[in-house]
Amino acid sequence: MAFCLCSRSIRFRLTFWYVVTLAAILAASGSYWYWTLSRNLQGHVDEKLLLVAEDVISFHLLDRHAPSGSFSCRELEDFIRSHNWSEFVQFLNEQGNIACYSSNLKDGFLPTSAEALRAARNNRHHFETVFLAQGKPLRLLTYPVISEGHLVDIVQVAQDLEPMLKTLHEHRLSLTIYSPLLLLILSVGGWFVSGRTLLPVVQITRAVRRISAENLSQRLPVEECRDEISDLQETFNSMLERLEDSFNKVRQFTADASHELRTPLAILKGETEVTLRWARDADELRRTLESNMEEIDRMGRIIEDLLALAKSEAGEIPLGLADVNLSDLLQDLYLQGKTLAEPKSIEFNLHLQVDREIHLRGDQLQLHRMLLNLVSNGVKYTPAGGRVEVFLATTGDKAQIRVVDTGFGIAEEHFPHLFDRFYRIDEARNRDIGGSGLGLSIVKWIVDAHGGTIEVKSELNKGSEFTVTLPLGGPPNRSDV
């Protein structure tokens, strides 16, 4: 079975990668220090061989005042013993033949390579690692003896490498033993540290699991330290707040929709039962059916508005963006407004405060729906003999439409909820007028979809003013709701 980290906990993965990284660092650093130690030890050996070779050559050149061939191996041995050297010394003549060697070589000789002889004849010293017949490793220096500019002899000095190799072996053994032990100790420490680090995440997970739709008001405690964990906690709390708000809206929406539909259904049922029991003539039956039709129409409008809002939130009502002549649109709206206002003897006026026709990019059908809702609201909530006026102006690259009425007005405390679904200022008055409580919600959705804003000013018993501001260029980077 292949080893897969994906199925492991974050704590395990953190510890695993910590150990792998640490192992790589230990291996690299151990190799580097081993190589450095080996190089330094060999450098010290080479320096010692050079010093010994130079001293031996100085002694040899002083002894060359005698005729050639009178150089005594015993004198060389005495010189080496006087310095307590453990190095092996061997003299070669210029042809490369052995002339003399130290007693510690016993019956063996230092090997001479062709490369070493070539370097000596070129007045260069040469270092190499060689092995005696018994397999003993030596570091060998071949050094030319120059007198009066000519090669007269060759001296070879060697040192046993076994002490150095033993030191390196001990160092390598220490690395082999203690590195895994250190890695194990640090792994345990890494497991503990990762556990402590992830403890807040575990606590967050447990707390979130305890939160359900029934207790969305609960919040996670936020750490005092400002770090990634506190950011995560605040993000969860923000998400829970949004979820709670959404759930509350769904509950409120369900309750309001049930209430709105239950009332006309109750009226339908009651009138139908009364008619079935007590209706005596066709006129009474007709009046009941007409009342039933009004309630059915009311339920139809509520359901249609609810579907429109639901589809808009789901993005299923794309805006048909096109060039819209706002001036012509308001002219058509003026004719409809006059018709709506006429039964209540309400004065309805249109004021185009522009010197040219105003065009904007938008969905003509939805814009007409939005403006008609504002106008019909103004007419509904304005008493007979009042006035409703529509103004069109421009400010920079935006069109501004104001719908002003002299109706009942709205208290300021209702402003924050004015565009909420089914929100009513006066339940009895709204039902008498026939409103569903969804008109301004649809207005707000259409304005937002076009990248605009809507503002409200109102005073009780003096009237209201709704100001819609729309960008002439259309909604920025949006093609649908």
The CATH number covering residue 386 comes to: 3.30.565.10
Domain-embedded: residue 196:
no
Distance CA 446, CA 442 (A): 6
Domain-embedded: residue 178:
no
Distance CA 161, CA 128 (A): 12
For residue 443, give Cα distances in angstroms to 51, 334, 418, 468.
Answer: 101, 18, 11, 10
Range of the domain at 239: 228-311
> Which portions of the chain are predicted below pLDDT 50?
1-2, 67-70, 428-432, 478-481
Distance CA 60, CA 80 (A): 12
- What pLDDT is recorded for position 317? 62
Task: Based on the fold, state whether residues 161 and 30 are members of the same structural domain.
Answer: yes
Domain count, the chain: 3
- What pLDDT is recorded for position 73? 76
Task: Based on the fold, state whether residues 364 and 428 are members of the same structural domain.
Answer: yes
- What pLDDT is recorded for position 77? 80
Task: Based on the fold, state whether residues 127 and 247 are members of the same structural domain.
Answer: no
Task: Based on the fold, state whether residues 79 and 141 are members of the same structural domain.
Answer: yes
- What pLDDT is recorded for position 324? 92
Domain-embedded: residue 143:
yes
End residue of a domain, out of 167, 185, 208: 167
Task: Based on the fold, state whether residues 303 and 356 are members of the same structural domain.
Answer: no
**How buried is 476 (Cβ within 10 angstroms: 0-12 exposed, 13-18 middle, 19+ buried)?**
exposed
Distance CA 26, CA 181 (A): 12
Domain-embedded: residue 193:
no
- What pLDDT is recorded for position 80? 81
Residue 47 phi, psi (nearest 5): -65, -45
Task: Based on the fold, state whether residues 302 and 397 are members of the same structural domain.
Answer: no
Task: Based on the fold, state whether residues 291 and 326 are members of the same structural domain.
Answer: no
Beta strand pairing call for 387-395 and 347-352? parallel
The CATH number covering residue 151 comes to: 3.30.450.20
End residue of a domain, out of 311, 332, 362: 311
Task: Based on the fold, state whether residues 345 and 304 are members of the same structural domain.
Answer: no
The CATH number covering residue 284 comes to: 1.10.287.130
Task: Based on the fold, state whether residues 16 and 157 are members of the same structural domain.
Answer: yes
- What pLDDT is recorded for position 67? 47
Token pair in block for residue 227: 């770090």
Domain-embedded: residue 209:
no
Domain-embedded: residue 161:
yes
- What pLDDT is recorded for position 260? 62
The closest alpha carbon to 322, from 373, 277, 362, belongs to 362
Task: Based on the fold, state whether residues 406 and 334 are members of the same structural domain.
Answer: yes
pTM of the model: 0.48
Task: Based on the fold, state whether residues 430 and 382 are members of the same structural domain.
Answer: yes
Task: Based on the fold, state whether residues 151 and 250 are members of the same structural domain.
Answer: no
End residue of a domain, out of 281, 311, 341: 311
Domain-embedded: residue 57:
yes
Domain-embedded: residue 172:
no
- What pLDDT is recorded for position 83? 83
Tokens 């580097």 belong to 32
Distance CA 114, CA 363 (A): 98
